[in-house]
Structure 1
Amino acid sequence: MVYADDDESLLEAEEDGSLPDRDQDIKPRFHSSRFHGSEDGEDDDEDIVNVWNLRKCSAAALDILSNVFGDDILPTLMPVVQAKLSCSNDEVWKEREAAVLVLGAIAEGCINGLFPHLSEIISFLIPLLDDKFPLIRSISCWTLSRFSKYIVQGTDHQEGREQFNKILMGLLRRVLDDNKRVQEAACSAFATLEEEAAEELAPCLEIILQHLMCAFGKYQRRNLRIVYDAIGTLADAVGGELNQPKYLEILMPPLIGKWEQLPNSDKDLFPLLECFTSIAQALGTGFAQFAQPVFQRCITIIQSQLLAKVDPVKAGFQYDREFIVCCLDLLSGLAEGLGSGVESLVSQSNLRDLLLQCCLDDAPDVRQSAFALLGDLARVCPVHLRPRLVEFLDAATKQLQNTSKLKETISVANNACWAIGELAIKVQKEISPVVLTVVSCLVPILQHAEGLNKSLIENSAITLGRLAWVCPELVSPHMEHFLQTWCFALSMIRDDIEKEDAFRGLCAMVCLGFKFIQVKANPSGALNSLVCMCKAIASWHEIRSEDLRNEICLVLQGYKQMLKDGAWEQFMSALEPSVKDKLSMYQV
């Protein structure tokens, strides 16, 4: 794991931070389209060692060994690490650097064994942030970031809080390092710490923003992208805390300056668009003062890219769909942040027609972001979607058909499914022409849930509930075909407003469907569904809505009246104690 003498990184590490980047220094970057729900994939760690060589492979191997064997490797490993760390001679700095890399590599797998010594390890690493060797400074940033979770957990006591502040200030100092490699490592490490610390950062916001905006003026193109990411992550972490004039005065002028300086076809706009998306969501209505030019530019970029797709000569540049995806996601951020305040901007634009075009695009990532925006607009200004509602619903429904292909475009299907549910509760009966088609697509998804994305299952269950809520007379006659699998999916969803909507649909459908259930002809079928329904009802930690509690009570009372001659008591006695305990609040 020690740097070889001919390692390119040793030469790169001497680079002056004031030297402009060459085009070949800038790695391609990929924007991940907006996704509504809990994604299954975990982000890879932002790794400080990005070239596959013997050093990197050895570090990766040690990471895997630590995850497989855990603390068992520590008695063999730690004496070697301690010996290397105690070498203060400048000639063996590479050995010291490798030892710091070791601590980062085993941070996850050996955390139980390291935990009692963590305060000591971190106290040792903090001074290394100011080491004379740039590669020791950069690896110390990365290694500290690997312990972010535990550093933040320690802030509930005085000593831990002091250590957290030292790390925070140490990383911010390194964000302003003169070395590009250290800048990159510090900014990435700081973004990781931000994600863990969240609102803990609020008291330090002013000093954090001052450092980040100072970096913004200092960095070359490649590292500027990482500053945008750190600013966006900060906005996600502290949310509305950012919405104070003193913070906006530090943050917004430099960003708007850069925004005005970059042409519409410049790829350096991508990270800035992403950064604005996070800021718009964090500031909420506080972003209104910046919204109009941002909204209008997104519309202009989408229009010009759609033109370039058909006629690059006329557009004056080559089509790049990533511009469309980033702009759609920023418009989603505006809709989410401004709420109904975005309505005046939408009403004065041709967004509806552009959005429909994007919903029909041949590229899955464009459709994915388009359906996310469709759902966000359905929430805040559905009136502007109505003139083309049938076309939007048709486009969204098509994404749910053919379950065998769903795995290829699962994120598109997920967002389309969510958007249909959002439209349903806003347009009510106007959704009726597509209800049965959508239900016929959602049921197979719930029935073949294994191997499918968790979010798609949740959104399918919620949308099915929303359709049943607005059109129970259409859905109810078919419920025996899917009630069990649907209830099972509902029981897996966390308590929130979307789950409430789904249960309103369940209650509306079952109450209407009592006349369709032939209990005498098929008592076991009805009871099988009832077990699943009771488990779904018991999955709530707390139902805040009193009227929903009353509706659930009516459903259970209805079943109780249908199951006569001791059948209800027999059914209740067969339920798991935890389920029975939860149902006791409904007096059944």
Structure 2
Amino acid sequence: MNRLAHQSLCAHLSQPFIQTGGKESLSDNLQAYVEALFLSASDRSPDVRKNVCSALVSLLSSNPDVLMPNLSQMVDFMLYATQETDETVALEACEFWLAFGEDLRLKNYLAGYLEKIVPVLLKGMIYSEEDLLILDNDEEDKTVPDREQDIKPRFYGARDARSLDNSSCSSPVHNQSSNSNNPSEAQLNNDGAAAAATEDADEDGEIEEEGESDEDDLYAEWNLRKCSAAALDVIAVNFENALLDYLLPILKEYLFQPKWQHKEAAILALGAIAEGCLNGMEPHLSTLVPLLLECLKDRKALVWSITFWTLGRYSSWIIAPGATSAEHKQTVFLPVMEGLLTCVLDKNKRVQEAGCSAFATLEEEAGKELEPYLLPILNSLVTVFRKYQHKNLLILYDALGTLADLVGASLAKPELLQVLMPSVIERWQKLSDEEQDLILLLECLLSVVVAIGPAFVPYAPAVFERCVRIVANNLEGYALCIKHPGEYEPPDNTFLIVALDLLSGLTQGLGTLAAQFYEANQNQRMGGYANARSGGATIDPQAQGMHAMASPDNNPNNHQALPPFLSLGTCLNIKFPKPSIRQSAFALVGDCAISCYHLLESYLPQFMPQIIRQIDAEAPITLTSVCNNAVWAAGEIAIKAGKSHYTLSPDPFRSRLMKRETDPPPPT
């Protein structure tokens, strides 16, 4: 092994001892170790310098005291290394500023070097030439189909029990939990700061596919630009307005540089400091926001997209809910909203994505302040239903769902539904029951139906029928997997969960009007179910296991013919392998108890044993939501059972609920 390789390896291998052993294992040699690192800091090998930087970052995190005597020397080295042409070295050095800023114990030490550090971080936020070879695309590409590998997987979470009926014993309202959280929530933190800045922010709950690599994924990775933005964010949070003395003069210079890359980096920096320096920035925002709106007219798509993100970071000031003057609305809020909606209609996909995401952020901050402007908002959003490619359609669904969640019944006006629903229905009809896009569209519809309630009745029959069909088809898929192990792939349970949740939303939103759709579907499917039973087609109860509760004789025959309540009974069964499916099923049972108890009642002899069994104080934390929804459903049934012919013994509930109330929390 040559000398350079030996130095690099030593610096690299020593880091775990620093991080885990700290003072105990290296206490006698730490100073000598630091001196050796400084001797290697000027080595000609980038690999050696990179590992020296990494080792110093580890020391700063675990043993900062040993570095303080040489802090000035180390800061100068790290400032130089952060500006190296070799980005691997520069990135490792930039991690030092992130670690330095995060440690509140070192705040007083860091303060003396801010004047030197801030310009270097700003420089690191400028796009490199290599970045631009990949990302700099100003073409009108709205008609270019997205590649499947460009679409990051999204994961849907089961729905918690909730109710619109204030007279019920429902638990507090919980919003539907979805891991496909919206991409506009680019909250600047250690990992996500610059991800948002490069318009490739990871979404909450998102898991990227292994083995897939493409150009966008490459630049979705951690790099110098992202690390610099994250470090500036952390420093802004810790130093607040004091940082502005060093930052604002440089930002002013960058914003008016002839090179657009400097302007773009300055806009990114303005977004990065929004959380920590908002109070200090407020006097400047009346001038800054119009300047940012002018940037939306820039010829570079990357300038537009980062401007969207930064405007979103200042959305609390842009909206100022409850205290917004007429002048502020006219000069700030409306121009920002109109600017975002204009860019939602852009012909460049990156601009579409950033604009739609930024508008979703604005929605969340504005809430009901958007109600007077719903018609122009919907006109803009539905216009792109036919124009967006796959990836941006997912963001559009989220923006529409968020809007419905926030404005609620205000969306139920006929003139608004006449704009919104035709485009939604057209898209709905184009998608098959197996297309992933359908999941996001169903989730969007869930928000709409809960928001507009009875106004959804004209659209309910088709939605109800399709959800019942999706549930039945997925149960059939599970039954085949159990009956013929290894021969069939299990179905994607997300379709089943979101269909149950939309049925629950329909039942909740329509109230007693939902009964007519259950009754019609129940009668229609009962005939097919009876025919299948008389034909002798059966599934072996031993093989189908989890379906044993699906029918009174424990022997379902044709799941495609199963009426909705029999399918629901299958989903409740404790043997069902997916707790999230049972969680959604219990929420639907509770909603049915409120809205159409007379239809549910005859199935309670099959449902109640499953409900009681899953009220379990000793259940692991992963089953807490299932148990909570079972408790809620039981309470709704108990209220209605007291006024009906069904006799509900309180003893099993009393023993399970008392145990749940008195037992300690389940193990994590």
Shared topology, TM-score over 0.5? yes
- Aligned CA distance change for structure 1 residues 432 and 107 (closer, same or farther; 3 Å): same
Query: Is the contact made by 2:241 and 2:277 (CA closer than 8 Å) also made in structure 1?
Result: yes
Which one has a bigger Cα radius of gyration?
2
Unpaired runs of 5+ residues, structure 2, are: 1-124, 162-172, 187-195, 202-219, 523-562
SS in 1 for 2:275: coil
Q: Deviations over 1:79-115 (max 9, x none)?
A: 222221121x1xx212211111112122122222222
Equivalent-residue separation in structure 1 for 2:432 and 2:489 (angstroms): 12
Q: Deviations over 1:253-277 (max 9, x none)?
A: 1211111111111111111101111
Equivalent-residue separation in structure 2 for 1:210 and 1:354 (angstroms): 39
For the aligned residue pairs, the C-alpha RMSD in angstroms reads 2.7
Equivalent-residue separation in structure 1 for 2:590 and 2:598 (angstroms): 13
1:54-69 alignment to 2 at 5 Å? 54-69=224-239
- Which residue matches 1:118? 285
1:455-534 alignment to 2 at 5 Å? none
SS in 2 for 1:268: helix
- Which residue matches 1:257? 426
- Which residue matches 2:513? 341
- Which residue matches 1:563? none
- Which residue matches 1:177? 346
- Aligned CA distance change for structure 1 residues 367 and 119 (closer, same or farther; 3 Å): farther
Equivalent-residue separation in structure 1 for 2:611 and 2:270 (angstroms): 48
Letter in 2 for 1:93: W
Report the CA distance between 1:212 and its aligned residue.
0.5
Report the CA distance between 1:444 and its aligned residue.
3.2
- Aligned CA distance change for structure 1 residues 365 and 59 (closer, same or farther; 3 Å): farther
1:283-322 alignment to 2 at 5 Å? 283-311=452-480, 319-322=491-494
Report the CA distance between 1:234 and its aligned residue.
1.5
Once the two structures are aligned, what percentage of the paired residues are identical? 41
Query: Is the contact made by 2:159 and 2:176 (CA closer than 8 Å) also made in structure 1?
Result: no
Letter in 2 for 1:233: T
Deviation larger for 307-316 or 224-233: 307-316
2:575 maps to 1:357? no
- Which residue matches 1:239? 408
Equivalent-residue separation in structure 2 for 1:379 and 1:13 (angstroms): 54
Letter in 2 for 1:432: P
> Which stretches of structure 1, 4 residues or more, deviate above 6 A after TM superposition?
39-44, 312-317
Report the CA distance between 1:402 and its aligned residue.
4.4
- Aligned CA distance change for structure 1 residues 316 and 300 (closer, same or farther; 3 Å): farther
2:270 maps to 1:103? yes
Q: Deviations over 1:445-477 (max 9, x none)?
A: 6x549x99xxxxxxxxxxxxxxxxxxxxxxxxx
- Which residue matches 2:155? 30
Letter in 2 for 1:319: P
Q: Deviations over 1:100-155 (max 9, x none)?
A: 11121221222222223232222221111221110110111111112222211166
Equivalent-residue separation in structure 1 for 2:350 and 2:396 (angstroms): 13
Report the CA distance between 1:414 and its aligned residue.
2.7
Equivalent-residue separation in structure 2 for 1:85 and 1:431 (angstroms): 72
Report the CA distance between 1:224 and its aligned residue.
0.7
- Which residue matches 1:410? 624
SS in 2 for 1:108: helix
What is the count of residue pairs matched by the alignment?
A: 446
The two structures have a TM-score, normalised by structure 2, of: 0.63
Which of 311, 323, 335 is matched with 1:144 structurally?
Answer: 311
Report the CA distance between 1:159 and its aligned residue.
2.2
Q: Deviations over 1:360-384 (max 9, x none)?
A: 2211221221122122112211222
Report the CA distance between 1:12 and its aligned residue.
5.3
2:666 maps to 1:441? no
Query: Is the contact made by 2:160 and 2:176 (CA closer than 8 Å) also made in structure 1?
Result: no
- Which residue matches 1:84? 254
Query: Is the contact made by 1:393 and 1:434 (CA closer than 8 Å) also made in structure 2?
Result: no
- Aligned CA distance change for structure 1 residues 293 and 79 (closer, same or farther; 3 Å): same
Which of 617, 620, 638 is matched with 1:424 structurally?
Answer: 638
Query: Is the contact made by 1:242 and 1:282 (CA closer than 8 Å) also made in structure 2?
Result: yes
Equivalent-residue separation in structure 1 for 2:611 and 2:364 (angstroms): 33
Query: Is the contact made by 1:406 and 1:413 (CA closer than 8 Å) also made in structure 2?
Result: no
Unpaired runs of 5+ residues, structure 1, are: 453-588
Letter in 2 for 1:380: S
- Aligned CA distance change for structure 1 residues 38 and 262 (closer, same or farther; 3 Å): closer
The two structures have a TM-score, normalised by structure 1, of: 0.71
Equivalent-residue separation in structure 2 for 1:338 and 1:109 (angstroms): 44
Q: Deviations over 1:50-104 (max 9, x none)?
A: 31222223222322332333333222222222221121x1xx2122111111121
Equivalent-residue separation in structure 1 for 2:441 and 2:175 (angstroms): 24
Equivalent-residue separation in structure 1 for 2:353 and 2:388 (angstroms): 10
Query: Is the contact made by 1:358 and 1:367 (CA closer than 8 Å) also made in structure 2?
Result: yes
Equivalent-residue separation in structure 1 for 2:403 and 2:145 (angstroms): 26
Letter in 1 for 2:155: F
Query: Is the contact made by 2:137 and 2:301 (CA closer than 8 Å) also made in structure 1?
Result: no
SS in 2 for 1:110: helix
Report the CA distance between 1:347 and its aligned residue.
2.2
